[in-house]
Amino acid sequence: MKVGFVSLGCSKNLVDTEKTIAIFKKENYIVVNKPEEADIIVVNTCGFIEPAKEEAINTILEMAEYKKKKCKYLIAMGCLVERYKDELEKEIPEVDLWIKYSEYESLWDKIKNLIEKDKTKNDNNYVFDKFQDRVITTGNYYAYLKIADGCSNRCTYCAIPYIRGKQISRSMEDIIEEANNLAEKGYSEIILIAQDTTKYGVDIYGKPMLAELLQKLCKIEKVRWIRFLYAYPETITDELIKVVKKESKICNYFDIPIQHISDTVLKRMNRQSNGRSIEELIQKLRNQIPDVIIRTTVMVGFPGETEEDFERLYNFIEKTKFDKLGCFSYSKEDGTPAARLKEQIHPMTKKSRYNKIMKLQQNISRENLKKHIGKELTVLIEEKSFDNKYYIGRSYMDVPDIDGTVYIKNNGQKLKIGEFTKVEVVDVNNYDLICK
């Protein structure tokens, strides 16, 4: 039988999808990219915020249309299912099997029982927080490596702890085994992910162990670049900064979701940092790692955010000039403490504040990029443009599918896809670099 997959949401979800693909391949199913060719369609859903839930439901309904043709089984799994399985079963009867995130250990048993109508217990158990083979879907040069799942931070706006539970870190040995496996397969860039990477190890080792893990991963010879995403500001230690500065394989890149700068808003969010500590951290990073790239995400329209709170955030961004910045409007999520807060912000106010931040950051991004004109950068070449006029790649400043791109003018030079090369920056646009 042929099976097709749709993966929605974050890179952590994508890793779960890649593991599920590997399970099907191990059982001799054929993986296809077109839903019209699939006998089985699996949708891995996101349930983080309202737009993601809407996208998931629309995608499930879209995939259900293929059951009128070739598709025999439609399976939905993931975070949306974890939160709303009972309601979804009633509302979307076209789905043959709903698998909650908390049921992943018996995922294949459930799928096998559906397809073969066989209630015999399968001998294999697939535990998603331990190393198992994956079918990497992000190309041939980089791969995500999940070092922990769940979250113990309990930010008042976030549903992740209710979906995926408290943070559970993988053992260091297990992570290193998977990293070695990826390196042997030719992946030269490893991107560490978790809901909060800087608290890696606290639950199993009694203290943050990201710095030590990074040092061990740097010893893997075939890995060229290492990144870590979602570093919470309060647990970026001096030791971690020192390791990033010392180890040449670790990209000088910090992804720090500050969410806000107003202490009153941060307190209502139940964030563990405050405005002053955030400002001091950013200054420390820039002092100790001169070429550091700092990315952040901020939230506008959180319940009770006043015009004064917003203006402080706007002015802080204008002054700090983050290299990369994402902004999103607060989304009222069922079951979260913030959903019960009074002073919910009007949607039009949230949209207006979002637009102001993004317009500001567009100008900041272009000005920041101009500073690199005339400089030499190492770039991972990933493809050619459709018209063959450019090679396309990324520098240490760019996370795939999140940040900008490096365009290298094709002047007849023979650059190899998948290899690193040095180029000179000659021009920029709002988010990308033009090189020769």
**Tens of pLDDT along the chain (436 residues)?**
899 999 999 999 999 999 999 999 999 899 999 999 999 999 999 988 888 899 999 999 999 999 988 999 999 999 999 999 999 999 999 999 999 988 988 899 899 889 876 433 333 333 455 666 788 888 889 999 999 999 999 999 999 998 888 999 999 999 999 999 999 999 999 999 999 999 999 999 999 999 999 999 999 999 999 999 999 999 999 999 999 999 999 999 999 999 999 999 999 999 999 999 999 999 999 999 999 999 999 999 999 999 999 999 999 999 999 999 999 999 998 889 999 998 999 999 999 999 999 999 999 999 999 999 999 999 999 999 999 999 999 999 999 999 999 999 998 888 999 999 999 999 999 999 999 9
- Give 77's contacts (C-beta < 8 A, 6+ positions apart): 16, 20, 42, 43, 44, 45, 98, 99, 100, 101, 104, 107
**The overall pTM is greater than 0.95:** no
CA distances from 164 to 63, 187, 228, 335, 351 (A): 25, 28, 20, 14, 29
The alpha-helical segments, DSSP class H, found in 118-262 are 160-164, 172-184, 202-205, 210-217, 238-246
DSSP assigned state of 366: H
d(CA 295, CA 282): 10
- 3-state SS of the chain: helix, strand, coil percent to 5? 40, 20, 40
Structural domains of the chain ordered from first start: 2-116 (3.40.50.12160), 142-370 (3.80.30.20), 376-435 (2.40.50.140)
